[in-house]
């Protein structure tokens, strides 16, 4: 069973993980000293899109709610309620 897990992991690895650094650079058409040219970088950006995760949009209500949610805000809220109940301000 343990051998199957290792085989699955090795099969799922990128083919670049098994290559030497020089072979990877040749395969990706990159010069180790100068990197990508500006034109080449622009072409790859258009072809593959930016390597970024899309930020999730949060509603204003949810952002406001998060200010009041958590251990420290709870302590402040309890202190405010107790202060009001005991009328000690």
Beta bridge partners of 31: 35
Determine what percent of the chain is predicted with pLDDT higher than 90.
Answer: 36
Helix, strand, or coil here: 2?
helix
Does residue 3 carry a pLDDT above 70?
no
Q: Taking the model in full, what pTM does it have?
A: 0.41
Q: Which ranges of 1-89 does DSSP label H, i.e. alpha helix? A: 2-12, 21-28, 38-48, 60-67, 71-86
Residues, the chain: 89
pLDDT score recorded for residue 53: 86
Tens digit of each residue's pLDDT (9 = 90 or more) over 46-69 = 998 888 888 888 899 999 998 889
Q: What is the pLDDT of residue 1?
A: 47
Grade residue 20 by pLDDT with cuts at 50, 70 and 90. Answer: very high
């Amino acid at each position: 069973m343990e051998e199957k897990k290792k085989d699955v992991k090795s099969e799922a690895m990128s083919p670049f993980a098994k290559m030497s650094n020089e072979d990877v650079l040749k395969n990706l058409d990159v010069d180790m000293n100068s990197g990508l040219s500006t034109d080449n970088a622009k072409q790859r950006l258009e072809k593959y899109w930016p390597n970024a995760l899309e930020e999730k949009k949060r509603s204003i209500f949810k952002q406001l709610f998060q200010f009041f949610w958590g251990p420290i805000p709870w302590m402040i809220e309890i202190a405010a309620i107790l202060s009001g109940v005991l009328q000690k301000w």
